[in-house]
């Protein structure tokens, strides 16, 4: 059963802006259809020449994406309410793959850092436990 793949879907595929099931479906159709592969090739060539519409520039420069510092503040929960709402909208509703990947990377780094801090504290405690003595009692 072939599915109709539109130009917009191919553009989303190139931008990595589709869900996993849509990506898998497009890849399956690309394997079967030479005209669809040619359409994808034509779209890639158009992009290489430089599409200069406002929307293309917006997507290419990721103007609505968040800097890592802002994503870090989001993880810590220290953003203003309106910015926090935008970040949630961008991540959950829009589902920006670029920002979700950055967020996942930062969460992994945070978890790794937490584990290292615990190990370091344990090591310090164990190495200094013999040095810690109660003060001498006064007579």
**Residue 119 lies inside a defined structural domain of this protein:** no
pTM for this predicted structure: 0.50
Q: Tokens 């968040």: give the residue.
A: 66
**Using an 8 Å Cβ cutoff, are 79 and 87 in contact?**
yes
Q: How high is the pLDDT of residue 121?
A: 77
Q: Do residues 59 and 1 both lie within one domain?
A: yes
Structural tokens at position 58:
């917006």
Q: How far is CA 83 from its chain centroid?
A: 18
Q: Do residues 102 and 70 both lie within one domain?
A: yes
**Residue 131 lies inside a defined structural domain of this protein:** no
The total number of structural domains that make up the chain: 2
Domain around 79? 65-110
Mean pLDDT of 71-88: 94
Q: At 12, is the pLDDT very low, low, confident or very high (cuts 50, 70, 90)? A: confident
Mean pLDDT of 40-56: 78
Q: Do residues 3 and 29 both lie within one domain?
A: yes
Q: At 123, is the pLDDT very low, low, confident or very high (cuts 50, 70, 90)? A: confident
Predicted confidence (pLDDT) at residue 27 exceeds the cutoff of 60? yes
Q: Tokens 């200069």: give the residue.
A: 52
């Amino acid at each position: 059963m072939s599915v109709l793949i539109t130009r917009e879907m191919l553009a989303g595929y190139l931008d990595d802006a589709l869900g996993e099931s849509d990506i898998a479906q497009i890849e399956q159709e690309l394997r079967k259809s030479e005209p669809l592969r040619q359409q994808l090739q034509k779209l890639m060539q158009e992009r290489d020449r430089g599409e200069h519409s406002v929307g293309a520039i917006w997507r290419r420069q990721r103007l609505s994406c968040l800097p890592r510092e802002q994503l870090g503040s989001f993880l810590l929960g220290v953003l203003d309410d309106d910015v926090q709402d935008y970040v949630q909208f961008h991540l959950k509703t829009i589902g920006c793959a670029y920002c979700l990947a950055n967020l996942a990377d930062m969460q992994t780094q945070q978890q790794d850092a937490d584990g290292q801090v615990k190990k370091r504290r344990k090591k310090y405690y164990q190495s200094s436990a013999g040095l810690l003595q109660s003060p001498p009692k006064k007579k």
